[in-house]
């Protein structure tokens, strides 16, 4: 895979430094699981180079901007749970929130676009929890975009769903429809404009996209693509670290989910409560999760009130696509992220000259149920299971099922079976029945009904 074996000098030591090169870490590296295989390989390479779970999460996210822009791109956003198992944690993870935001005004926009949150979100994740230099992590994604990557099955399947409308946009057509035909699975996909944008972010810094010369270029390009994002919108687009939505589990376990306003976390928490009482009640759990999310969208009530109440059975409108991944490193740090473009390929339009597909504004379409979860122990700060979910209204119950099953598992080695989640839910899961210090107890998997990859080492 182009670009995956070239990560070097991540900590500023250049070629003379052993740390920062794939192969620096021997023995147990950790594990990654993602919906798109090339992103998983990039994450594993980061772990092999000595990066921690947060570094691998940033590397995987930036790789997804190149390999799965249908569901994750610079124009979009998301949320992550981050557990510090290297001595800096207290048994409860943090939530890094960078949800797609609506612009202050959509006047003149025929296809309203979201304010991009992804770059700042990843910068915050790296600055607060990472070890490698952010600009060096971007190097791999930049090389992938410039030199080309094989079009994955996951991407080609997404392309087939929206091929007609997407091909109408000149920028998207040049990338995804070479020679006027839909790119074939395995064919090389080159994105020179995106490579240039990644290079500018690497050299000038992420702040340039939000308050510098790059911001001015982006605002003008968005207008050309039928959106309306102002310089003030970009300046105000700030991610934040929050406390996750917490439930108590057995043996001092902290069962954590993404906090509001990421109501996929609320839905997953509601589904988890059902499954903790009856692991076979998958349909009831899914219904309970959807009812909780619908109640929040209807009333704006607090999470605790909804979880302790009895929200009426409800349905949600058709929800947009998302993607997820999970990471564990050798020190016990763990990250799970859920990412979105607010719609499959966002607005379906690319900001001219930038290579950035614009995400759909959350005021134009219903927001997705972003779902990620984690079980950690307060008594010893160990991670038991980390999971990310995707699959529209099935994402929350997929995460809830992974967490409940891990807590019910009493075996010496974690046993994982993600394929049992109700359709269309998919989960990426890493679990340990001991800790990262006892990697022989760990296992990792991605849903076999999807097209992802789980990889690591024991």
Is the confidence at residue 9, as pLDDT, over 50? no
Mean pLDDT computed over 343-354: 97
What is the share, in percent, of the chain residues with pLDDT greater than 70?
Answer: 94
pLDDT in the model for residue 438:
86
Alpha-carbon span 25 to 438, nearest angstrom: 16
pLDDT in the model for residue 90:
81
- With contact defined as beta carbons under 8 Å apart, do 339 and 71 qualify? yes
Alpha-carbon span 122 to 414, nearest angstrom: 30
Alpha-carbon span 436 to 296, nearest angstrom: 36
Domain ranges (residues) in the chain? 19-241+318-457
Of the candidate ranges 35-39, 183-187, 421-425, the one whose mean pLDDT is the lowest: 421-425
Q: What angle do CA 276, 330, 325 make, to 5 degrees?
A: 55
Is the confidence at residue 317, as pLDDT, over 80? yes
398's CB contacts (< 8 A; 6+ apart) are 371, 387, 389, 390, 391, 418, 421, 422, 425, 426, 427, 447
Binning pLDDT at 50, 70 and 90, where does residue 410 land?
confident
pTM comes to 0.94
Alpha-carbon span 63 to 330, nearest angstrom: 22
Q: Which residues pair with 81 in a beta bridge?
A: 95, 336
pLDDT in the model for residue 180:
94
Of the candidate ranges 7-11, 78-82, 194-198, 367-371, the one whose mean pLDDT is the lowest: 7-11
In Å, how far from its chain's centre is CA 280?
28
Quickly count: other Cβ atoms within 10 Å of residue 423's Cβ.
Answer: 12
Q: Output the average pLDDT for the chain.
A: 93
Residues 40-55: tens digit of each pLDDT: 999 999 999 999 999 9
Binning pLDDT at 50, 70 and 90, where does residue 259 land?
very high
Question: H or E element: which one contains 218?
Answer: helix 213-224
| Alpha helix positions (H), 243-337 | 263-277, 282-299, 303-308
Collapsed DSSP state (helix, strand, coil) of residue 166:
helix
Q: Is 213 exposed, middle or buried (0-12, 13-18, 19+ CB in 10 A)?
A: exposed
Q: Which residues pair with 34 in a beta bridge?
A: 325, 453
């Amino acid at each position: 895979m182009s670009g995956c074996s070239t990560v070097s000098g991540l900590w500023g030591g250049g070629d003379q430094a052993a740390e920062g090169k794939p192969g620096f870490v021997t023995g147990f590296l950790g594990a990654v699981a993602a919906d798109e295989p090339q992103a998983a390989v990039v994450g594993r390479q980061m772990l092999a180079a000595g990066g921690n779970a947060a570094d691998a999460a940033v590397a995987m996210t930036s790789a997804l901007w190149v390999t799965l822009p249908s569901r994750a791109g610079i124009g979009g956003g998301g949320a992550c749970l981050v557990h510090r198992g290297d001595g800096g944690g207290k048994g409860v993870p943090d939530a890094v929130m960078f949800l797609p935001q609506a612009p202050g005004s959509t006047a003149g926009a025929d296809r309203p676009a979201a304010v991009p949150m992804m770059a700042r979100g990843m910068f915050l994740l790296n600055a607060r929890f990472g070890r490698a230099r952010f600009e060096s992590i971007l190097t791999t994604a930049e090389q992938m975009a410039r030199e080309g990557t094989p079009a994955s099955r996951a991407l080609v399947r997404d392309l087939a769903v929206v091929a007609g409308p997407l091909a109408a946009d000149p920028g998207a057509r040049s990338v995804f429809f070479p020679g006027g035909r839909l790119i074939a699975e395995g064919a090389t996909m080159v994105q020179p404009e995106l490579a240039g944008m990644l290079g500018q972010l690497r050299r000038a810094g992420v702040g340039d996209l939000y308050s510098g010369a790059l911001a001015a270029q982006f605002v003008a390009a968005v207008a050309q693509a039928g959106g309306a994002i102002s310089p003030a919108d970009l300046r105000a687009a700030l991610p934040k670290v929050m406390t996750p939505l917490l439930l108590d589990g057995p043996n001092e376990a902290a069962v954590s989910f993404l906090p509001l306003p990421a109501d996929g976390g609320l839905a997953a928490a509601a589904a988890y409560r059902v499954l903790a009482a009856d692991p076979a009640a998958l349909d009831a759990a899914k219904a309970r999760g959807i009812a909780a999310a619908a109640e929040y969208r209807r009333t704006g009530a607090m999470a605790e009130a909804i979880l302790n109440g009895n929200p009426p059975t409800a349905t949600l409108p058709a929800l947009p696509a998302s993607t997820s991944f999970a990471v564990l490193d050798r020190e016990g740090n763990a990250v799970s992220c859920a990412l979105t473009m607010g719609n499959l390929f966002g607005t379906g339009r690319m900001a001219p000259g930038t290579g950035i597909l614009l995400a759909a504004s959350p005021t134009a379409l219903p927001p997705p149920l972003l779902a990620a979860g984690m079980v950690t122990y307060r008594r010893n700060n160990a991670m038991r299971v980390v999971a990310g979910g995707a699959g529209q209204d099935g994402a929350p119950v997929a995460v809830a099922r992974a967490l409940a099953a891990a807590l019910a598992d009493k075996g010496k080695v974690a046993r994982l079976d993600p394929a049992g989640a109700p359709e269309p839910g998919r989960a990426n899961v890493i679990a340990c029945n001991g800790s990262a210090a006892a990697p022989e107890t760990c296992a990792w998997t991605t849903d076999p009904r999807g097209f992802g990859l789980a990889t690591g080492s024991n």
